[in-house]
Amino acid sequence: MAGRMAGLIEGFLHKRVLRRWKQAADLADQADPETLRTLRSRARGLRRNLDRVIHVAEHRLALPVIGSNVMRKPMGTDWSWRPALWKGPIPVPGFSSVPGKAVISDGTTIFHDCRRSELTIRQIRNTRAADIAPFGFRMDVFRFDGSFLSLVIDLPEEGARGLKLKHLLRMDVIVEMEKPLEIFARLNIKHGPNVEQIVRELPLNEEEVAVEFDLAYSKMNEKRVEKLWVDLIFEGPEMNQIILRDVTFSRRPRAEL
């Protein structure tokens, strides 16, 4: 009730201020110089703050909405998902000298074997007109004396539920790099005591890339699928900045012949 009353009072005051400035504008050409100088000073002060509000509002409202799950999905998709790292703000947006195993957010972990870490990571806000994911993920790699750098993404239970050999699992990535490097995606399927792995290289000739894992070529036991995760493996990342603007997953059954 108090909130509603405050809203009514604020609306009333806003209308009163608008009416007052409309009257001042209508009478400006008849006002004496002293009154006109006072009105001009007050109007300029008001305009500075109004311009700030408009500028910030237009910038923020042009950004992808935080929590948005809008994504490009192939026809026939029966499951799709965007990891939390690209969907909403994380508790710790970034840190430097990343250790050999570092949990970035729920279900996303960085692994490397450097003796001395010169890796910095940060979640960033996407601002480009082409972006539909609210956030991106940036890695700055300086000296790299290790043999591997990977970003591990655990897929939710819904992605494994009902998974069949007839399914195609697709990963879409929007990536930027300072200089070319190879990125591999390895799908891991835990079924019973075994783990089936399928590796694909990301075709990085374009900014928006996609890879598909055809489960018909795997030895997966449909009745025992427990868990899915994907390793993004970065080959030769030294002295490079890598930005993953978006990462999404989708699943669809293969067309029947």
Predicted confidence at residue 44, as pLDDT, reads 83
| Residue 93: strand, helix, or coil | coil
Task: Decide: 108 and 85 in contact? Cβ < 8 Å.
Answer: yes
User: 39: exposed, middle or buried (C-beta count within 10 Å: 0-12, 13-18, 19+)?
Assistant: middle
- Give me the pLDDT at residue 7, please: 65
Cβ neighbourhood burial of 19 (10 Å; 0-12, 13-18, 19+) = exposed
For residue 220, what pLDDT is reported? Answer: 92
Query: Is CATH 2.60.120.260 the right assignment for the domain spanning 79-253?
Result: yes
Residue 5 is predicted with a pLDDT of 60
Cβ–Cβ contacts within 10 Å for residue 166, how many? 14
* Domain residue ranges in the chain: 2-62, 79-253
pLDDT attached to residue 254: 83
Per-residue pLDDT of the chain (257 residues; tens, 9 = 90+): 556 666 666 766 777 877 887 888 887 888 888 887 888 888 888 888 877 776 566 556 556 666 667 778 888 899 999 999 999 898 888 889 999 999 999 899 999 999 888 999 999 998 887 788 899 999 999 999 989 999 999 999 999 999 999 999 999 999 999 999 999 999 999 998 999 999 999 998 776 789 999 999 899 999 999 999 999 999 999 999 999 999 999 999 987 65
pLDDT at 206: 72
Are the C-beta atoms of residues 237 and 141 closer than 8 Å to each other?
Answer: yes
Residues sharing a CB contact under 8 Å with residue 48, sequence separation 6 or more, in sequence order: none
Nearest to 251 by CA among 186, 187, 169, 173: 169
